[in-house]
A and B are shown apart, each in its own frame.
Chain A
């Protein structure tokens, strides 16, 4: 990050727009009507990001990598909120009614299972886990993922295929009643 520093507010504008696009990509297939507001999601993601990084000189690739991690947290938090709500939970960072409209219980369960499986995958195949994170949680295409991670699209495709196969199997197994070892 050795580029000359740029005014922080300019970064804020850029990141905000980028994240908004990102959020729209996520919610594109949203049931119409009352949903978790994309602006809320963007704000959420941005605030988390801003706490963790100095944004001066942050490149687009790094941003997407960081944003996908952030979005993952946002969504998994939503999912946990949803599951707690099902069980009757406490105070939440995201308005509950939005989350209920946004995620079904089954989806929330999948998210949590996926999140955990992804951590297990990261231990043995960190790049594959990173690819999945970009694809799933930042909605990046193969090409964008390749650019963000600095590898070829072919590599991303290969990583994606096997990681996805393994994760799908893990998630299916979890939901069918595997217990954590």
Chain B
């Protein structure tokens, strides 16, 4: 044999054919080569190259000399930074990529996580698409028993990565082997609940097997690897690559290449239950080859768990109901299995409760029929709701159609009343955009009104009423219907307290929801006491380690005005959360957001912006772009960027938020904040005062329609308009407006706030020549200083106003002292544009004060270093610029 001559042309051809065929199946390759018209020896050569690629390291010397991590899959070294995560070690490799253990390295949250990186050699778009699909699927799932996605991004070498909760545990079957029957079943129920939750979110796992379910040392099973999970869509069609399946755990329809539905996961759960109970896979015992196993999965009836289990006492307990449940889940025809994971779980629960199970093959329809007869009223009411909801949603939530169809089928099969209720509750929540990303809430309003009326009719069923009111209240809240939300949630709390007791977890959760509404409707102070009380009850009843407790700390922190106390509460929350290992991306994002706010109030806008940016990245992977949460975080980011002087970027983000907010059905609050944010950004930019003016007025107008009149946002919004009016030289108008804002703030009872606002009168009063009044306002504002954090932004502003008042009334020495204090704070702040301008203002004012008290040389130096820049900026306080000019020219 001779080797074909390698020249440039041939090499280029080889290269093209190689890359084009690398990700194709052998069949597709053959077709592709035929179509390419390449010569047979070229095709042979490419095929040989492809086999060399696929064989791993074929050369001895390669195995020996090229990096330990294997030649194709380049592992990243421990210590490598991927986003904010520092890799600790490589823990696994799969078809799609590598999984590393890692920790957050930015010191903000001490969390252990798993970072999953797309394979470095996954050049093909197919794998990358699948990877991104997993990311999108996981983003919908936040459940304690699902290893949910925490973050995502792109690594330094350009590979997409996912950050997942790190699960250190053992396979569920191994763990279960040490448990008694009841404990095994309870463990299984948690898994089934996680699967049901995924189904509710329109996701089918498709690869449930023991190695994908790990149990942590606290006994919590965690469902992993949604790598081949599928989003239910309208068509139910999906490109399923057979290689990716685990054949021994596949359902018959998967082997037959038929559509995959929720029943496929029911089969997977059935096989898992079999394995948990009997200690072995249903088709593992007598199978030798893969093809034999496939034949058995397709045709052979599954053995009875009681026949396979080795323990005699266990066998006796498995006989009967449990055998029946497993058999029903493992039926060959998907349509004859339980139609949902929830039904399967329901039967296991009934078994545990000593109730008759539904899964007696021959008597199934008879039992179900009887059940429905007993619960006719509830079932009818629930079905009506399902149908009503279906009509509304099918137009609005396109993605949900398929699931709805499956649910309708379940309803048609006359399911148990409880299950229908669960469905209805789920359906309610599907119109909640926070639960189902992308669920458009348009036209849901009339439906909600009807649903509320229906729920009111469910008398004598206070528990159901309670849950339904809570769901409806939360939907109303997310739509901005604060008043209705508040009354529904109040009703739910009252019902719950009667039915379940005041300290029941569900009641406490509803009280937290109610507090959320009150914060937005009446301001943070309206919720502080409520949140404090819920936290106390939780600590007493469920203990510190319960997940609701860390959450309650964070919520209380968010409504606590005392900065140090808020910080301490947040620290406790984060510590509890990190210690528990229970983390959820939205909670992480909200912690980052809270941390950002904390840096923001401490005049550290750059750090705040970095944290908020991290939070935005997380929520952006979790929710659609128009989602309220994304908009909130984006808006906050714009606020920090503005404070950091990055006006252009801040403005473009703020405009995005504003655009999105104008499209909300009941925009209210969110829209008002969006207008206000734009106003507060452009007011710093030269020549944009007219825009600032109209934006701030729009904010005030919208705010008035959205929140209760006593809400502090109304007074602060009026104050903003006042200041912008004054900036345009209309000081008298500005002052009048400011005074009515102050009057409102006074009513709301936040003394510190209205004292501070009084200080903002000072520049206007000086411009109007009312210097004595300015001095009085300034000293009144100074009373608020005591409660503020040293070096805080607000404290610097109070000093600034006092200094201006002192300067205007001839107290140059006092002014010198105060301006120096301001300069100290502002120079300690990050040297970003806005604080730089403020620093320049303070230096200019200080220069004027020094000059006036006779320290002319020092004073002029300060003025010369600041005043020309301020004149260029054009947005400095005109009084200050005038002082600077006078001091500079000696006039």
Q: Mark B34-54, 1 if CB is under 8 A from A, else 0.
A: 000000000001001111110
B121 interface residue, CB < 8 Å from A? yes
B363 interface residue, CB < 8 Å from A? no
Bound-complex Cα distance A139 to B60 (A): 15
Task: Indicate if the CB atoms of A136 and B74 lie closer than 8 Å.
Answer: no
Q: Mark B109-148, 1 if CB is under 8 A from A, else 0.
A: 0000000000011010000000000000000000000000
Task: Indicate if the CB atoms of B6 and A165 lie closer than 8 Å.
Answer: no
**What is the size, in residues, of chain A's interface with B at 8 Å between Cβ atoms?**
43
Return the contact of B49 from the options A110, A125, A154, A166 (Cβ within 8 A). Answer: A166
When distances are taken between beta carbons in the complex, the residues of chain A under 8 Å from B453 are: none
Known contacts A168-B55, A173-B3, A178-B1; 11 additional CB pairs below 8 A are A107-B64, A110-B61, A114-B59, A142-B157, A162-B18, A164-B52, A165-B50, A168-B49, A172-B48, A173-B48, A179-B1
Bound-complex Cα distance A26 to B68 (A): 10
When distances are taken between beta carbons in the complex, the residues of chain B under 8 Å from A104 are: 60
A43 interface residue, CB < 8 Å from B? no
When distances are taken between beta carbons in the complex, the residues of chain A under 8 Å from B55 are: 168
A34 interface residue, CB < 8 Å from B? no
Return the contact of B3 from the options A136, A137, A181 (Cβ within 8 A). Answer: A181
When distances are taken between beta carbons in the complex, the residues of chain A under 8 Å from B2 are: 178-179, 181
22 contacting pairs across A/B (C-beta < 8 A): A107-B61, A107-B64, A114-B61, A125-B11, A136-B61, A137-B65, A139-B67, A142-B120, A154-B157, A154-B158, A157-B74, A157-B120, A161-B53, A162-B18, A164-B71, A165-B18, A167-B59, A168-B52, A168-B62, A172-B58, A173-B3, A180-B3
A29 interface residue, CB < 8 Å from B? yes
Can you list the 8 inter-chain pairs with the closest CB atoms, starting with the nearest?
A168-B52, A124-B11, A165-B49, A169-B48, A165-B53, A181-B2, A169-B52, A165-B52
Return the contact of A120 from the options B6, B19, B158 (Cβ within 8 A). Answer: B6
Task: Indicate if the CB atoms of A153 and B157 lie closer than 8 Å.
Answer: yes
A70 to chain B, nearest CB (A): 15
Chain B 492-544 residues near chain A, CB threshold 8 A: none
Chain A contact residues: over half helix, strand or loop, or mixed?
Answer: helix
Bound-complex Cα distance A104 to B48 (A): 26
Bound-complex Cα distance A75 to B158 (A): 34
Chain A 125-181 residues near chain B, CB threshold 8 A: 125, 135-137, 139, 141-143, 153-154, 157-158, 161-162, 164-173, 177-181
Task: Indicate if the CB atoms of A162 and B60 lie closer than 8 Å.
Answer: no
Task: Indicate if the CB atoms of A124 and B64 lie closer than 8 Å.
Answer: no
Bound-complex Cα distance A123 to B12 (A): 12
A92 interface residue, CB < 8 Å from B? no
B53 to chain A, nearest CB (A): 4
B362 interface residue, CB < 8 Å from A? no
Task: Indicate if the CB atoms of A106 and B60 lie closer than 8 Å.
Answer: yes
Bound-complex Cα distance A181 to B4 (A): 8
- On whether A158 and B61 interact (CB within 8 A), knowing A28-B68, A143-B157, the answer reads no
Return the contact of A136 from the options B48, B62, B121, B157 (Cβ within 8 A). Answer: B62
A138 to chain B, nearest CB (A): 10
When distances are taken between beta carbons in the complex, the residues of chain B under 8 Å from A173 are: 3, 48
Task: Indicate if the CB atoms of B59 and A169 lie closer than 8 Å.
Answer: no
B14 interface residue, CB < 8 Å from A? yes
A64 interface residue, CB < 8 Å from B? no
Bound-complex Cα distance A51 to B58 (A): 35
Nearest chain A residue, comparing its CB with the CB of B63: A29
Chain B 1-25 residues near chain A, CB threshold 8 A: 1-3, 5-8, 10-11, 14-15, 18-19
When distances are taken between beta carbons in the complex, the residues of chain B under 8 Å from A168 are: 49, 52-53, 55, 58-59, 62
In this complex, the member of B10, B66, B71, B74 whose beta carbon has the largest number of chain A beta carbons within 10 angstroms is B66
Bound-complex Cα distance A177 to B1 (A): 8
When distances are taken between beta carbons in the complex, the residues of chain A under 8 Å from B67 are: 135, 139, 141
- On whether A162 and B49 interact (CB within 8 A), knowing A136-B65, A181-B3, the answer reads yes
- On whether A178 and B14 interact (CB within 8 A), knowing A135-B66, A169-B45, the answer reads no
B-side interface residues toward A, CB under 8 Å?
Answer: 1-3, 5-8, 10-11, 14-15, 18-19, 45, 48-53, 55, 58-62, 64-68, 71-72, 74, 120-121, 123, 157-158
When distances are taken between beta carbons in the complex, the residues of chain B under 8 Å from A170 are: 3
A46 interface residue, CB < 8 Å from B? no
- On whether A171 and B59 interact (CB within 8 A), knowing A164-B71, A181-B3, the answer reads yes
Bound-complex Cα distance A171 to B1 (A): 14
Nearest chain A residue, comparing its CB with the CB of B56: A168
Task: Indicate if the CB atoms of A124 and B6 lie closer than 8 Å.
Answer: yes
B226 to chain A, nearest CB (A): 27
Bound-complex Cα distance A164 to B554 (A): 54
Bound-complex Cα distance A178 to B74 (A): 32
- On whether A110 and B60 interact (CB within 8 A), knowing A162-B19, A165-B49, the answer reads yes
When distances are taken between beta carbons in the complex, the residues of chain A under 8 Å from B158 are: 153-154
When distances are taken between beta carbons in the complex, the residues of chain A under 8 Å from B6 are: 120-121, 123-124
Chain A 61-94 residues near chain B, CB threshold 8 A: 75
Task: Indicate if the CB atoms of A139 and B74 lie closer than 8 Å.
Answer: no
When distances are taken between beta carbons in the complex, the residues of chain B under 8 Å from A179 are: 1-3
Task: Indicate if the CB atoms of A124 and B61 lie closer than 8 Å.
Answer: no
Task: Indicate if the CB atoms of B74 and A162 lie closer than 8 Å.
Answer: no
A146 to chain B, nearest CB (A): 9
Bound-complex Cα distance A121 to B49 (A): 14
Nearest chain B residue, comparing its CB with the CB of A71: B65
A137 to chain B, nearest CB (A): 7
Bound-complex Cα distance A10 to B60 (A): 37
Bound-complex Cα distance A162 to B492 (A): 65
When distances are taken between beta carbons in the complex, the residues of chain A under 8 Å from B71 are: 164
Nearest chain A residue, comparing its CB with the CB of B2: A181
When distances are taken between beta carbons in the complex, the residues of chain B under 8 Å from A171 are: 59
When distances are taken between beta carbons in the complex, the residues of chain A under 8 Å from B68 are: 28-29
Bound-complex Cα distance A149 to B233 (A): 47
Bound-complex Cα distance A123 to B7 (A): 8
Task: Indicate if the CB atoms of A162 and B15 lie closer than 8 Å.
Answer: yes
When distances are taken between beta carbons in the complex, the residues of chain B under 8 Å from A158 are: 123
B81 to chain A, nearest CB (A): 13
A180 to chain B, nearest CB (A): 7
Nearest chain B residue, comparing its CB with the CB of A176: B1
Chain A 1-46 residues near chain B, CB threshold 8 A: 26, 28-29
Bound-complex Cα distance A157 to B72 (A): 9
- On whether A178 and B3 interact (CB within 8 A), knowing A26-B65, A28-B68, the answer reads yes
Bound-complex Cα distance A125 to B66 (A): 21
Nearest chain A residue, comparing its CB with the CB of B75: A141
When distances are taken between beta carbons in the complex, the residues of chain B under 8 Å from A29 are: 64, 68
Bound-complex Cα distance A142 to B72 (A): 10
When distances are taken between beta carbons in the complex, the residues of chain A under 8 Å from B8 are: 124
When distances are taken between beta carbons in the complex, the residues of chain A under 8 Å from B59 are: 110, 114, 167-168, 171
When distances are taken between beta carbons in the complex, the residues of chain A under 8 Å from B10 are: 124
Nearest chain B residue, comparing its CB with the CB of A111: B61
In this complex, the member of B45, B52, B61, B158 whose beta carbon has the largest number of chain A beta carbons within 10 angstroms is B61
When distances are taken between beta carbons in the complex, the residues of chain A under 8 Å from B66 are: 135-136, 139
When distances are taken between beta carbons in the complex, the residues of chain A under 8 Å from B15 are: 162
Bound-complex Cα distance A107 to B61 (A): 6
Bound-complex Cα distance A108 to B64 (A): 12
Bound-complex Cα distance A136 to B72 (A): 13
Bound-complex Cα distance A166 to B11 (A): 10
- On whether A107 and B49 interact (CB within 8 A), knowing A28-B68, A124-B11, A166-B14, the answer reads no
- On whether A124 and B123 interact (CB within 8 A), knowing A162-B15, A169-B49, the answer reads no
Nearest chain B residue, comparing its CB with the CB of A110: B61
Nearest chain B residue, comparing its CB with the CB of A26: B65
Bound-complex Cα distance A29 to B6 (A): 34
Bound-complex Cα distance A157 to B5 (A): 26
Nearest chain A residue, comparing its CB with the CB of B71: A164
Bound-complex Cα distance A50 to B876 (A): 66
When distances are taken between beta carbons in the complex, the residues of chain A under 8 Å from B49 are: 162, 165-166, 168-169
Nearest chain A residue, comparing its CB with the CB of B49: A165
B738 to chain A, nearest CB (A): 57
Task: Indicate if the CB atoms of A157 and B50 lie closer than 8 Å.
Answer: no
Task: Indicate if the CB atoms of A139 and B65 lie closer than 8 Å.
Answer: yes
When distances are taken between beta carbons in the complex, the residues of chain B under 8 Å from A121 are: 6
